[in-house]
Amino acid sequence: MAMPVEKEVLLKRIEYLRDVQRSLEHGIEIAIIYGFAAPILNSLFRMTMLFLGISIVAAIVIAILLAAIAIIQRELRYLWREVMKDPRWWEKIPWIGIVGLIICLSSIVLILLTS
């Protein structure tokens, strides 16, 4: 029995949004690396303002990407409800972004404390 055309379209849209979400999470991972590396590099090169700027930019990028992920997840939640069931509550939380934001903020504090 074939799926209705509407469900096929919704599943394609869900697949696309999941791919976009994975791309944004990859961007968050890269920002985490920069935010995590900033205090380490600051301890070697002692360029506090540069590495403080890198950490602040990484935190801002993570915050923007988290907002984009939240928008995507809201649409996914709606589409998923249309196709099947609502995802479980822990699937809605972008853990990588939350951890990355904490790492970048702690990097800023670490740079300020070590300079």
Nearest Cα neighbor of 41 from 28, 55, 61, 26 is: 55
Band of the pLDDT at 33, cuts 50, 70, 90? very high
Mean pLDDT to the nearest integer, 27-33: 92
Asked whether 14 and 6 are in contact (CB, 8 A), the reply is no
pLDDT tens, residue by residue, 39-66 = 888 888 888 999 999 999 999 999 999 9
Type of residue found at 101: L
According to the model, what pLDDT value does residue 88 have?
66
According to the model, what pLDDT value does residue 1 have?
42
The answer on pLDDT for 23 being more than 80 is yes
- Residue ranges per domain, the chain? 10-114
Cα 15 to the center of its chain, rounded Å:
18
pLDDT tens, residue by residue, 65-104 = 999 999 999 998 888 877 775 556 666 777 888 888 898 8
